[in-house]
A and B are shown apart, each in its own frame.
Chain A
Amino acid sequence: MVQRAVAHGGKLAPIVFPHDLVALMNPSVFIDSDGDILVNVRATNYTLYHSENKQLFPSPWGPLSYLHPEKDQRLVTENYLVRMNKELEVTDYSKVEMLSLHTPIWEFVGLEDARLVQWAGVYYLIGVRRDTTTNGQGRMEYSTIALNKNKWEAKEVARKRIPTPGEDKSYCEKNWVPVLDRPYHFIKWTSPVEVVKSYPDTEGTEQVSLRQGIVPNKDQRGGSQLVRWGNCYISVSHEVDLFKNYLQQKDGIYRHRLCVWDDQLNLVGLSKPFSFLDANIEFAVGAVILGEDLLLSFSISDNCAFVLRTPKLVVEDLILEALDYAN
């Protein structure tokens, strides 16, 4: 995808800035009401070690390992809020100061894979938190963010744990897809398409619709936000092949697709799988329109973060390809 975008006049921008953790990953790009290009970047205390090709050089724990400190089993996440200029250069960055509401009691600590949105003028980071129970139960959470653009400081000022509709008994909810121009609406599943609505300041979550759109031949999981593109919506989803080698060590391959949605949020198109940089592990959690183009944000191997300016021509080719899926 990067090669294709750049060949058509797009631009790849690595997101690099000084930080006090180990890795920068899973960036979520967004343009706010001031026209600022903002990116939430997940920073972690671990390095994902992933051997590719013949896997001749695995870690001591296998070809795919989360290398946290050896005396600290936790996988810790912090978030940084970054501003980029129109050339997609990082101009400002600040660690998001999170509220201290509880002592984490599971090994995955922090708000993970947060998508950035601004609804009714308020910034939210919406991600999954798994540190509030002793078994790692995951729930999407709203973190309301106060952003001081003069000092470039970001602070969490409120938090809501989002229940599932119904009995709220599932183990782990993650990667709900925010619909940018429909405040508080999310795509929870893609097949069938389940749309839910949950307000940041009231209890509960409502199921808005549950309809079967086109049927993907592989489970499509949440990726970027849903953005309006002409008379449709588009988003980038991901799919995973998880498997084990003969030593029963886990491994996986991630690929992405462009999803096309109609006004009723029916899934009506699905592109062929693509990769960004031909790495086996890639993950895109951000999309927003800049001018005529689409900004996509992604990381590879959980270790490098990028924003890709994807020209309109490339996006529209993908949309046509996606719409062909149904035919």
Chain B
Amino acid sequence: MRIEDLIINLCDDPFNPELNFNVAVKYEEMGQSASAVTFYLRTAEYGHDTHSHLAYSSLLRMAYCFDTQNDRQHTVINCWRQAILVDPYRPEAFFILSNYYERQSAWQEAYVWANMGLAQADETPLPIDVGYPGRFALYYEKAVSGWWLGRREESIEIFNRLLTQDIPEHYRQSITENLKRINPDASI
């Protein structure tokens, strides 16, 4: 559906979270991150009480929008944290935070957020991709950050277990490289 049609639909029910979400997604697809933010934020504000999956997803997509604008890191992190406030029982925001801190070499934070994510059980599908590869990715973050925190044996055990699972090839390669580095004597 074209953006103008989606907005016309919205005119009939301007505070409807689903209609706001549809407009936001379309603007994001069109590369208009600021426009998308406006409607994702409306989705979260008007959908918090009735459409928690939409509100949660919107706050995570908002973070991606701000990330594309560069140098808005406090706002990006704020969006992730607010998503957790909407639904603290989902793993996606915890994974994103863990991954972010891993890239910053902030190992304690990465380890904590990975463990928080692994403690959450709700993995019912979201209405849009929010950049969560699956539960294995939380274990991956836990193993990577844990090694830097002195949890070598735990890391090796997690990595080896992940290699027995059906995981994306780039994760498999990364795990193999990590194991060679941290446990060079072992046969993989």
B4 touches A49 (CB 8 A): no
Are the CB atoms of A24 and B11 closer together than 8 Å?
A: no
With A67-B66, A67-B72, A303-B38 in contact, is A55–B78 under 8 Å at CB? Answer: no
Q: Which of B29-37, B142-150, B168-176 contacts its partner?
A: B29-37
Expressed in whole angstroms, the Cα–Cα distance for A302 and B15 within the complex equals: 19
Does A70 lie within 8 Å of B73, measured CB to CB?
yes
Interface size counted on chain B using CB atoms at 8 A: 35
Q: Which chain B residue lies CB-closest to A300?
A: B38
In the assembled complex, the CB of A218 is this many whole angstroms from the nearest CB of chain B, namely: 23
Q: Which of A6, A14, A49, A277 contacts B41 (CB 8 A)?
A: A49
Query: Do A56 and B12 touch across chains, with their CB atoms under 8 A apart?
Result: no
A18: interface (CB < 8 Å): yes
Per-position 1/0 for A76-108, Cβ under 8 A of B: 000000000000000000000000000000000
Minimum C-beta distance from A66 to chain B (A): 11
Tell me if B59 and A57 are in contact (CB < 8 A). yes
Q: Which residues of B contact A13 (CB under 8 A)?
A: 4
Q: Given A47-B66, A67-B66, decide whether A14 and B14 contact each other with a Cβ distance below 8 A.
A: no
**How far does the alpha carbon of A49 sit from the alpha carbon of B34 in the complex, in Å?**
9
B158 contacts partner chain A, Cβ-Cβ < 8 Å? no
Chain A residues bordering chain B, tally (CB within 8 A): 39
| Interface: B27 (CB within 8 A) | yes
Query: Do A72 and B71 touch (CB < 8 A)?
Result: yes
Known: A54-B48, A300-B38, A303-B38. A14 touches B4 (CB 8 A): yes
Residues A59 and B78 in contact, CB atoms below 8 Å apart: yes
- The SS class assigned to the B binding surface is helix
The residue that A278 contacts in the complex, of B14, B35, B69, with Cβ under 8 A, is B14
A48 to B33 alpha-carbon distance, docked (Å): 11
- B4 cross-chain contacts in A, Cβ below 8 A: 11-14
Check if A57 sits within 8 Å of B44, measured CB to CB. Answer: yes
Does residue B75 face the partner (Cβ distance < 8 Å to A)? yes
- The answer on a CB contact under 8 Å between B46 and A53 is yes
State the CA gap A3–B30 with chains docked (Å). Answer: 24
As a 0/1 sequence over residues 5 to 22 of chain A, the CB contacts with chain B under 8 angstroms (1 = contact) are 010000111101010001
Q: Is B3 an interface residue (CB 8 A)?
A: yes
- In the docked arrangement, what's the CA distance between A52 and B78, Å? 17
Known contacts A6-B8, A278-B15, A304-B35; A16/B45 CB under 8 A: no
Report if B61 contacts A (CB, 8 A).
Answer: no
In this complex, what residue of B is CB-closest to A71?
Answer: B71
| Residue from B8, B31, B34 in contact with A47 in the complex, judged by beta carbons closer than 8 Å | B34
Report the minimum CB–CB distance from A246 to chain B (whole Å): 18
Given A49-B37, A59-B78, the answer on whether A69 and B45 have CB atoms closer than 8 Å is no
Q: Which A residues are CB-close (under 8 A) to B78?
A: 59-60
Residues in A with CB closer than 8 Å to B41 are 49-52, 57
The answer to the question of A301 belonging to the interface, with a C-beta cut-off of 8 Å to chain B, is yes
Nearest chain B CB to A279's CB is how many angstroms away? Answer: 8
Contact yes or no, A14 B3, CB < 8 A: yes
Q: Give A301 to B74 CA distance when docked, in angstroms.
A: 21
List chain B positions with a Cβ less than 8 A from chain A.
Answer: 3-4, 7-8, 10-12, 14-15, 27, 30-35, 37-38, 41-42, 44-46, 48, 59, 66, 69-75, 78, 82
27 A-B pairs within 8 Å (CB atoms) are namely: A12-B8, A12-B11, A16-B3, A16-B35, A18-B31, A22-B33, A23-B35, A24-B32, A47-B33, A48-B34, A49-B75, A50-B38, A51-B41, A52-B45, A52-B46, A53-B45, A54-B48, A56-B45, A57-B41, A67-B75, A71-B71, A72-B71, A277-B14, A300-B38, A303-B34, A304-B32, A304-B34
**7 extra interchain contacts, Cβ-Cβ under 8 A, other than A16-B27, A16-B35?**
A6-B11, A23-B34, A50-B41, A59-B75, A60-B78, A277-B7, A277-B14
Nearest first, the 7 A-B pairs at minimum CB distance are A23-B34, A69-B71, A278-B14, A53-B45, A303-B34, A3-B11, A47-B34
